[in-house]
Structure 1
Amino acid sequence: MRTRLAIKIDAMLEPWFPERRLFLRSDSDTRFIRLRPVTQLFAFAGSASVVAWAIVATAILLMDSIGAGNFREQAKRDQRTYEQRLNLLAEERDTRATEAMAAQDRFNLALDQISDMQSQLLASETSRRELETGIGVIQANLRDAMDQRDQARGRLAVLQQMSQPIETAAASQEGNETLDFMVAALADTAAERDKILADARQAVKDAENLEFQIKLMEDQNDQIFRQLEDAMTISVEPLDKMFSAAGLSTKSLIDQVRANHAGQGGPLMPMSFSTKGEEPSADEMRANRILRQLDQLNLYRIAASKAPFAKPVKDAVRFTSGFGYRRDPKTGGRRLHKGSDFAGPTGTPIYSTADGVVIHAGWSSGYGRLVKIQHEFGIETRYAHMSKIRVKVGQRVSRGQRIGDMGNTGRSTGTHLHYEVRVGGKPVNPMIYIKAANDVF
């Protein structure tokens, strides 16, 4: 039985939803269904709700599709920009490497020149001493010859005085023979004197030429010294900046390298041009100062070769993740990423970033195929997710030596290299070392 409220509601809705009857006819009977205004209202509301939901859902899907398309386009633009930056950085790195090689060639050439100049200076010093000795002997012989000439002139004058009275009467055969002997002796003495004088004049000319050559050598020596001093400044300053940028103590590193390489000898021994115990000359002090700088540069380069100042990959790769806290790609939680990731094709060569000893080469749970290398100064590097390992435990490796191939082993979402640097067992950002070496290697 309908209530009064239902009747009133139907009466209110009658203008908009008049009562309708739906007839259902069968073979033997005819029935109808009465659609009251309230029922029509609910049916209309339900249909409107379905249509509205469909419109809203379609709009949401359309906006998501448009947003996803914009995100992909933005990602592609970012990727192209990043690739362009990588290409520019690669070109700049190649330019710096070419400049470093040219500077190294100039340095080697200057070192060869100063070595030749040192040999020439020593040879000229020996020649000068020999000439001084020869001039002294010539002067002594000349003095002796002049004394003998004066003595012969005195004896000739005496004989001429003695021979005058004899010649007036009758020349003595014995006197004539003595006179002929003295004349011949005087002629020989005069010839020897002339030869000694000619030798002395030639010795003076040779000494003047030698002094001129020594002056030219000194000018060349000064030019070579200036070139070497400039080369030292150009070569040492970038290395010092590189160590400082990496947060390493230059003095501590150099002291450790010097302690492990304490032997001396060869071309870098201090110069000494005097054997008389005299004070060193300005050139000696300058040359020894350059040699000390050369020794320091050599220690810098040894230290640089033993620290990971290089990239573990040389082929074109993509930098996909850096050092620090990030969202874990497996679990989605926040986690410390202890290295840097470089993505590339499977089999991309991986190289050691410094001299060291392999302390691990095998499988290591989440790292997959892993290589650990122990370097000097308490530094360790790790190369993870390899597809192939090319070194063994205990093997000594050098910077730039191939140690494995890039892969997708262990806890990894794609082919890449996970590269770590640890100092004293604690992970540090590898890009600090890589960026610090951009202007050197």
Structure 2
Amino acid sequence: MANELTLLDKFHAFRAKYFPERQLFLRSEGRVRFLTIGSYTQMTMASAIAISLIWGGITSYAYLTSDLTLQEKNRTISTMSAQYQALSSDFSALEVEVERRAQQLETRQKFLEEMVGTPAAPLPELEVMDAEPEAATTTSAGPDTSENLSTGAQNSTFIERIFGTGSAQAAVHSNIDRRKNLLFRLQDMEARQRNLATAMRDDAVSELANIDSVLAPTKLASSDLIEKFGSQADAQGGPFVADVAFEPVFSEEDGNIYAELFTERQRLEMVTNALNSFPIGEPAEKYYLSSRFGRRVDPLKKVWAKHSGLDLAGWPGTAIYATAPGKVVHAGWYGPYGNMVEIDHGNGFKTRYGHMRKVRVEKNEEVTLGQRIGDMGKTGRATDTHVHYEVWFDGRVRDPMPYLKAANDVLEIQGRHEKTSQQ
């Protein structure tokens, strides 16, 4: 209680010192009057004046700095609008890039499907999510909104939409992230396609190497078959359709493997097609080898001479068969060959069958593998019943024995190729 009286005394002392009771003397028409102003009245008036001064100062400061605040907010909004436009441009560029790469991968996918013969895994779909309409509308109205801010209209709503939620930026960032994820998926798809193309190219190269090893005893190579196969393609035509170039998708080299695959598969296709003309059949039903190809003592003149085929002996009338499909280019008497049949099998291959007792085909007749073309005899320059069997390739006579030995392997290659073509 003593403390409260002390504070009260201090208050009264302060009031008595600074706000003593004052009197105002008023003189009018010879009369003098006075007006007494108490301490509390003075304190009330002083407080009112102080409050007014403070309010005026605050109001003046707010008025003077409001333009600066609005300008700062407008600069912030302009910056955010520019950032949004930049994000939108990045978004559009990324979307175009995704679509371009997806189209290129689809082209490669179709190419691989044609090579494999069955559809491969589908590409990921390009999903498009537009930014929120409200956010896009708000941002696009940036310049007009600045004018609205200067007049004080719609201030809180716009500021809340820009600074509060940030929905426009979030939508664009979300879309860019999704497209980046899609690019990663497309990149993974490209890597898997490239691995598949590499494996297919290696298989084609391996098959060509296997064919070369099979043909090695015949002194033929896949390049020889390709050369002759290309020389047979004189009759060509049709509308021009430009080939699809394998443009880079993610790196400058990622399209090279497809060109290599196309080249190797084309080479393999030409070789296997040419091998369809390879003599793989038995030239006679039953026989034994009576004379080999090459240097020998001539059976009539008894001097060394060159023998251009195999002499396969058997019983008179033994069936003689075509060792590959083709077209009969000669059927009848042919000097020392006696009754002879020559068949053009295409792709540089020909076969001859001499000394036959009877010819069962005619010139220009198409024959099939294993078709009977005559009967074994000893017409022409011969000492006894046999068939003189010759194999020709690219205009040169070859030793038929390696061809007979390679027949089963070539037949297996033909079977694999036919099975692949049917898939």
Q: What TM-score do the two structures reach when normalised by structure 1?
A: 0.48
More helix by share: 1
Q: What TM-score do the two structures reach when normalised by structure 2?
A: 0.50
